[in-house]
Amino acid sequence: MASWSPSSLPLLGLLSFLLLHPITTTTAAASTAGIRLGIIRKPSPDVPIFKEAPAFRNGETCGSPKTDRIHVAMTLDANYLRGTMAAVLSILQHSTCPENVEFHFLWARYEPLVFSSIKSTFPYLNFRVYRFDSNKVRGKISKSIRQALDQPLNYARIYQADIISANVKRVIYLDSDLVVVDDVAKLWEVDLGGKVLAAPEYCHANFTKYFTEVFWSDPDLAKTFQGRNPCYFNTGVMIVDVDKWRRGGYTQKVEEWMTVQKQKRIYHLGSLPPFLLVLAGNIKGVDHRWNQHGLGGDNLEGKCRSLHPGPISLLHWSGKGKPWLRLDSRKPCTVDHLWAPYDLYRSSINYLEG
């Protein structure tokens, strides 16, 4: 599986995409993937320009970055790049051992401006980039209630164990519309208790609403959760034993439910329900402080929501409303101001001073 690390390509600073800049490479990773690197032209209006983040260094109590890695997986594309930058900054800023954090970015295609933006914004970042083949899911995706949920990259989390380096045994998967306001090492150290996945569970939620009447009226399908106590969990924050995932064939198990969905509509959301079908009631629960989700409102209108009571370690703008869009429109929700300090977009000063 082709992947790229910062050393795989030339250092690309901000100047490299403000001016015409030819790029050549002879790396095996690039040539194996058949990537053709040509001219980086002037910046696309779809890819924002970001301020350089400070260099974050390990505290005195940290172990070696080579042996005590914390692996974080995220998707990467131009549409959500602003959110990704904020998420990365928040993780590094609140980490006791930021040099021990290694990021694994999954993208659907090579985007030079996205790559150079990461490099110029976080010159010292430990990261690798992997290509997610969208063809894996193009025939398996069913139309959902929100177009953003139908994008192939939204399904990359299903395949992350098969994509990232084989020597990585465990990852924290995070969406791009969140910020971490606590030390990510605390999440990394969660004991999975032999389970393949850990995440905050929400057992008070109406679990039945995540599936259609077609599902519940079919006697065979309705037996899916028999012997389990299924609870809703959000797939935007997960600790995954990717080694156990690989050995257990969980990618194929999730895909099987996606095939059923194509034959008869058994749910309305994107990649979440097949996760629930395979794993709900059989995961390790994590403290709710690690996913204060739903801050983007519902999936249809994205109305403002307030914070849930209790301590908070992670703020998640799941739902239709994204904080950078609401801030730019000068119609932010109150919670969006909690995201703004992590925004590295160069024009963000406009609304911070407005």
Strands (E), the chain: 3-4, 21-22, 39-40, 70-75, 101-107, 127-131, 171-174, 178-180, 197-202, 232-233, 237-240, 284-286, 314-316
Q: pLDDT tens-digit profile of 102-123?
A: 999 999 999 999 999 999 999 9
Residue 175 has pLDDT above 50, yes or no: yes
Could you give the CA distance from residue 310 to residue 174 in angstroms, rounded to a whole number? 21
The helix (H) or strand (E) run that includes residue 85 is: helix 81-94
**Residues facing 179 on adjacent strands:** 315
Q: pLDDT tens-digit profile of 269-289?
A: 778 999 999 999 999 999 999
Instruction: Provide mean pLDDT across the span 154-159.
Output: 93
Give the model's pLDDT for residue 269: 75
Give the model's pLDDT for residue 135: 87
Give the model's pLDDT for residue 150: 63
Give the model's pLDDT for residue 139: 73
**More reliable by pLDDT, 153 or 8:** 153
Give the model's pLDDT for residue 1: 55
Give the model's pLDDT for residue 302: 76
